[in-house]
Amino acid sequence: MQVSPYRRGKSLMAIYTDERPDLSRELPNWMFDERYCGEMRLGPPEISIAGLNELASALASFGATRARGARSRPSRKKEKGDAKQATSKSRPARPTVGASKS
């Protein structure tokens, strides 16, 4: 199995595996962190096998009835205003350190 790291800047974001020519998986970086995984504990199941089978069946039916390719297109609507302009005149809930109370 080939494993390829994906970096954005200096931080490792994800690891990609090529198990077969037609299958590639993206695994989050935390899955390879011994400290993170070492703190995990096995808990009770959250869903039954029957529930997973029902989900798989529903997902398969969506794929069978859907045409290939995306159906949505990016919006062409022009935004109003200047992006640098503040959109809200709200104040912080708590005053910042050293700020005077008014």
Chain segment 1-29, per-residue pLDDT in tens: 566 666 666 666 677 777 777 777 777 77
Query: Given CA atoms 36, 39, 41, 45 in this order, what sign does their dihedral have?
Result: negative
Full-model pTM: 0.32
Residue 11 dihedral angles phi and psi, to the nearest 5°: -95, 140
What lies within 8 Å, CB to CB, of 87 at 6+ separation is: 81
